[in-house]
Chain A
């Protein structure tokens, strides 16, 4: 039996499917709008977010932990978030 060749190792695809510049929007306004943006994507799709609010540095990771969306990159003010698989 011929062994199946393993796929070559490659960097994860981090291409965003959508982008949103939230500007200085923060706190509850930011995460509620972010929720709507992410849920408009298909499961597994990625959103590139720009959030200038100083609270976003802590809020975005906390919100992702609460909701199950995956924070792939956090380089404030830039964030890359993958939409969760559940509704």
Chain B
């Protein structure tokens, strides 16, 4: 059984339902002792900015900022697609705790060493 787990998320405020569920599943993985990484790309990179998720709260779920904070506190990592980040003019100084801007090689390395990946 793989010790790793990847959640790929390409949405932010353009689909708050997907963004929320992705982090709920990521929390399930990290709680199950998996080395868990959320890969934010396309619009998903906007979630890497401090304060961005503050007003996202899907009915029946915890607020997204709380889900993200709990994920990182439990040891989860957030990788942020570098070209997607730059394309949107986002600010590296405003990264949320636990987020790291990475290139594709980091994702390829994580997956190539053996990891399932679910995409939203």
Q: Which residues of A contact B (CB under 8 A)?
A: 27-29, 31-32, 34-36, 59, 63, 66-67
Contact = CB atoms under 8 A, between A and B. Distances in A.
16 contacts: A28-B23, A28-B29, A28-B31, A28-B67, A29-B61, A31-B32, A32-B31, A32-B70, A32-B71, A32-B74, A34-B31, A35-B31, A63-B28, A63-B31, A63-B32, A67-B32
A32 B33 contact: no
Nearest to B33: A67
B26 interface: yes
Interface of B: 23-33, 61-62, 67, 70-71, 74
A66 B29 CA distance: 10
> What DSSP secondary structure best describes chain B's contact surface?
helix
> What DSSP secondary structure best describes chain A's contact surface?
helix
B24 A28 contact: yes
A28 B21 CA distance: 9
A36 B75 CA distance: 12
Contacts of A29: 24, 27, 61-62, 67, 70
B33 A27 contact: no
Contacts of A28: 23-29, 31, 67
